[in-house]
């Protein structure tokens, strides 16, 4: 089945040749020129989202789409500042590309995010770490019987760490497996997601930093002193 692309771009000079190129590669393209039209669109597998839309800011479109769907979102924009990248990723975007970009690279990223969105057949059993249970099949994480409210990227990050409790996952490996095999964005987004996860887990000791290497998931010891700030640095 052809991958269905929702192209949200108001500039005809960009949208028309891009849509034609994607269709030549066998993808099905539905183009929207406004944020409202994008929010009303149906039946698509991946979203290419421009930020400079005439009616609603692209960040707001991203936030609303992510609130109702886990479909992969690739931001395609002229805004190249790191703060814009971080905001976009924090709002739920799966990838972020700055114009001008190479068509082949965009095509590769579309295929990468849609491939990652497919169910994984080797993760049938929930991962249990003490009071924490992570189930990829239902896309749910429970702590002490209470479901955690996580963004898609937060869940993927936690699920990866839960695959091998106590083992250290290198920063590069996390970025490759949770974000993109050819990640070009700021590595700061990983630290932002780690900080958010620690807050939602109610105890920062769940995720330990191994300085200069990466992170590992461990069950906090009951009655242990909270981790000092220095040990929770970005590594």
Per-10-residue mean pLDDT of the chain, 235 residues long, equals: 87 94 92 95 92 94 90 91 88 89 88 70 72 89 92 91 87 81 66 92 91 87 49 39
Q: Does residue 122 form part of some domain?
A: no
DSSP letter (8 states) at residue 214: E
202 contacts: CB under 8 Å, gap ≥ 6: 143
Query: For residues 221 and 185, what is the distance between their CA atoms, to the nearest angstrom?
Result: 35
pLDDT at residue number 227: 44
Q: Are 224 and 218 in contact (CB under 8 A)?
A: no
Same domain (yes/no): 102, 138: no
CATH of the domain at 27: 3.40.50.2300
Domain termination residue (choose one: 117, 150, 179): 117
Q: Does residue 177 form part of some domain?
A: yes
- Tell which phi-psi region holds residue 85, choosing left (phi > 0), alpha (psi between -120 and 50) or beta: alpha
Same domain (yes/no): 113, 132: no
Q: pTM score, two decimals?
A: 0.54
pLDDT at residue number 182: 58
- Sign of torsion over alpha carbons 188, 194, 195, 197: positive
Same domain (yes/no): 110, 142: no
How does 196-210 read in b/e, with b if 16+ C-beta sit within 10 Å? bbbebbeebbbbbbe
pLDDT at residue number 222: 61
Same domain (yes/no): 107, 8: yes
Number of domains in the chain: 2
Q: Does residue 8 form part of some domain?
A: yes
Domain termination residue (choose one: 117, 152, 169): 117
Nearest to 7 by CA among 76, 57, 87, 70: 76
Same domain (yes/no): 168, 200: yes
pLDDT at residue number 173: 82
Q: Is residue 134 helix, strand or coil?
A: strand
Would you state the structure tokens that stand for residue 152, as one six-digit string? 């898609």
CATH of the domain at 188: 1.10.10.10
Domain termination residue (choose one: 117, 138, 162): 117
pLDDT at residue number 112: 81
Q: What is the dihedral of CA 94, 99, 100, 102, to 10 degrees?
A: 10
pLDDT at residue number 62: 94
Q: Which domain holds residue 178?
A: 127-232
């Amino acid at each position: 089945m052809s991958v269905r692309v929702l192209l949200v771009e108001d500039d005809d000079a960009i949208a028309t040749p891009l849509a034609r190129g994607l269709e030549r590669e066998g993808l099905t393209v539905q183009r929207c020129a406004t944020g409202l039209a994008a929010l009303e669109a149906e039946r698509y597998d991946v979203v290419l989202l421009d930020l400079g839309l005439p009616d609603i800011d692209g960040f707001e479109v991203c936030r609303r789409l992510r609130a109702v769907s886990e479909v992969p979102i690739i931001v395609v924009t002229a805004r190249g500042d790191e703060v814009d990248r971080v905001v976009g990723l924090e709002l739920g975007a799966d990838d972020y590309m700055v114009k001008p970009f190479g068509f082949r690279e965009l095509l590769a990223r579309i295929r990468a995010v849609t491939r990652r969105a497919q169910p994984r057949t080797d993760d049938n059993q929930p991962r249990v770490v003490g009071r924490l249970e992570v189930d990829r099949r239902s896309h749910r994480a429970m702590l002490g019987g209470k479901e955690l409210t996580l963004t898609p990227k937060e869940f993927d990050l936690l699920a990866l760490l839960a695959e091998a409790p106590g083992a250290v996952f290198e920063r590069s490996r996390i970025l490759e497996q949770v974000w993109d095999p050819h990640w070009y964005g700021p590595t700061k987004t990983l630290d932002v997601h780690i900080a958010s996860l620690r807050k939602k887990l109610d105890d920062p000791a769940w995720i330990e930093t191994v300085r200069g290497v990466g992170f590992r998931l461990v069950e906090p010891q009951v009655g242990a002193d909270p981790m000092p700030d220095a040990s929770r640095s970005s590594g």
